[in-house]
Amino acid sequence: MASSSAAESSSRLSDRGFYAARRSALGLRFMVLLMHVLFVGAVFILDPTLDWRIHGEPWYIGLYGVLVLLTLVQYFYTAGSCPGYVIDVMRAGSMMHATFVNTAALSKWYIFEETILCIWTAALCIESLCLDVDKAWWKDFVGVILLAALILILIFLLLLWLFHSYIALTNQTTYEIARRKRIFYLRGVPERVLPFSKGICRNLYDFCCSSQKGYILEAVPPSEELEARAARYTCRDVICCRCC
């Protein structure tokens, strides 16, 4: 009886945690959608010339609308895709480096599209602020706040770009960067050595053009190879592009 009641209580707790996480994810998706609607809607309200552009330059506004729609579709598709938990595949062998290709590629494209959209929206906001027409003072005030928010978001997106680019160029995972000292298969690896890097060019090719899907498992290189990689770069190594 005691074991069955404990199992029921644990099942209820897990169900509550699942529904709470689901509500949190849905709330986050709604907030992202609301932010896009508010920012794009504010740009159209603040710039009186956009009404003319819709008729005079339909391709310009059409491309902008397609980018907004594509970015939202990419976000919802990425948010609803399998996150590729490394722990699920690490149970088979804890000495393997696991990369989930699908999540990395989707995140890369979403960040790219969101960055372009943010730059384009900021450009439209700057154009509306520079217009030499009579308009209410609150429009300029809202435009300045909107532009400041877009600049902050753009800085965050650029930092994400730098971080994801570093991960792609060095063939690492976020899990390995955050918990390098706690991961069992990385404990014997020298601090400055990136054990799974194949060179910048090969890493970039595998990240952008790999035809593999799902998990990619890589074994830790032999200790002799790791010790050789730990050696400091010489002038000959730099000339021969050893890092590439």
Please report the pLDDT score of residue 220 as a whole number.
77
Nearest-angstrom CA–CA distance, 124 and 44: 9
Instruction: Read off the pLDDT of each residue in 96-111 and give the average, rounded to a whole number.
Output: 64
Please report the pLDDT score of residue 238 as a whole number.
59
Instruction: Read off the pLDDT of each residue in 79-101 and give the average, rounded to a whole number.
Output: 53
Exposed / middle / buried, residue 117 (Cβ in 10 Å: 0-12, 13-18, 19+): buried
Residue 70's pLDDT band (boundaries 50, 70, 90)? very high
Please report the pLDDT score of residue 118 as a whole number.
93
Nearest-angstrom CA–CA distance, 158 and 152: 10
Q: How many CA atoms lie within 13 A of 75 on its CB side?
A: 21
Exposed / middle / buried, residue 243 (Cβ in 10 Å: 0-12, 13-18, 19+): middle
Task: Mean pLDDT check: name the lowest of 45-49, 94-98, 215-219.
Answer: 94-98
Number of residues assigned to the chain: 244
Q: Beta strand pairing status for 215-219 and 96-100?
A: antiparallel
pLDDT tops 60 at residue 214: no
End-to-end alpha carbon distance in the chain: 63
pLDDT tops 50 at residue 106: yes
